[in-house]
A and B are shown apart, each in its own frame.
Chain A
């Protein structure tokens, strides 16, 4: 208390689940997230999201769903520090089935985004919680320190046998100064933005 303000981790007792249920990618310059002011408990989750001026659904400003292989998507992070400098390495890994022109084009788009502006990601966990990575605009202002999520380290295979996996293991990652913020509204509001 005399040096710093610590907080309890008093989770309400109950079961939870691992894995991801749904994933979306978006152009982080298309969407503005709304966040209530921080209170003594800390930063608040995002409570709303809307298209920014100039971005239209007709023009391609949408939440693009990713149909990954069931039970083959995972979010991981690793925290590290050097002195007072803290880093969080965020990573999403998921499998896309069936190497094809469709998957080639998807990669071309996501690689361009990674080079130019980063990719925004929304991940709904099987616990029901929804997290946002790579957002750039909050409360109508540019976010202080943006997290740029980029495809880096993906791999693919045709497999050898007929029942081998044929597809791509996608890795999207980025370094940030904090953990991800939650989006507290129901998932339907994101589905409506597809």
Chain B
């Protein structure tokens, strides 16, 4: 998933996700992208050069949140009683 900030927006300071730093010094762009898409705030939408859809962002967030399940030992049909 491609999220890119415009060169001209790298000095812009936005308070979100627990910090307020110039965008060029951050890498938590998916969080900002979600805020921008959910609010439709033009001042945030305009900082992105490329922006995925809200559905893509939510899907990625769910995949990152889900714990990786350990592989279960294989059982053969002979173990069944």
Question: CA of A192 to CA of B20 in the docked complex: distance in angstroms?
Answer: 5
Whether, in the assembled complex, B18 has its beta carbon less than 8 Å from a beta carbon of chain A, the answer is yes
Q: Is the CB of A57 within 8 A of B13?
A: yes
Complex Cα–Cα for A32 and B20 (A): 13
We find that the number of chain A residues with CB closer than 8 angstroms to chain B is: 22
Q: Which of A50, A51, A188 has the largest number of chain B CB atoms within 10 A?
A: A50
**Residue on A nearest B18 in the bound complex, by CB:** A186
A49, B15: Cβ atoms under 8 Å? yes
Asked if B13 contacts A51 (CB within 8 A), the reply is yes
Whether the Cβ atoms of A37 and B38 lie closer than 8 Å is: yes
Q: Mark contacts of B38-61 with chain A using CB atoms, 8 A cut-off: 1 yes-contact digit, 0 otherwise.
A: 111111100000000000000000
CB-based nearest B residue for A192: B20
**B39 contacts which of A57, A139, A189 (Cβ < 8 Å)?**
A139
Distance in angstroms between the alpha carbons of A36 and B58 in the assembled complex: 15
Chain B interface residue number, banded? 20 to 34
Q: Is B5 an interface residue (CB 8 A)?
A: no
- What are 6 sample pairs from A and B whose C-beta atoms fall under 8 A apart? A50-B15, A185-B17, A185-B18, A189-B15, A189-B16, A192-B21
User: Are A50 and B13 closer than 8 Å at their CB atoms?
Assistant: yes
Please determine whether B35 and A36 come into contact, CB atoms closer than 8 angstroms.
yes
The one of B14, B21, B39, B43 in contact with A35, judged by C-beta atoms closer than 8 angstroms, is B39
Query: Once the chains bind, are A139 and B18 in contact (CB under 8 Å)?
Result: no
Nearest residue (CB) in B for A137 is B43
B21 & A140 in contact (Cβ 8 Å cutoff): no
Cα distance, A139 to B37, chains bound together (Å): 11
Q: Does B10 contact A (CB under 8 A)?
A: no
Best-buried of A34, A190, A193 by chain B (most CB within 10 Å) = A34
> Given that A50-B12, A185-B15, A193-B15 are contacting pairs, would A37 and B20 also be in contact in the complex, using a CB cutoff of 8 Å?
no
B36 — which chain A residues lie within 8 A by C-beta? 34
Interface centre among A37, A47, A57, A192 (most CB of B within 10 A): A47
Chain B neighbourhood of A186, CB < 8 A? 17-18
Known: A48-B39, A189-B19. 7 other contacts (CB 8 A): A34-B39, A35-B41, A48-B32, A140-B42, A185-B18, A189-B15, A192-B20
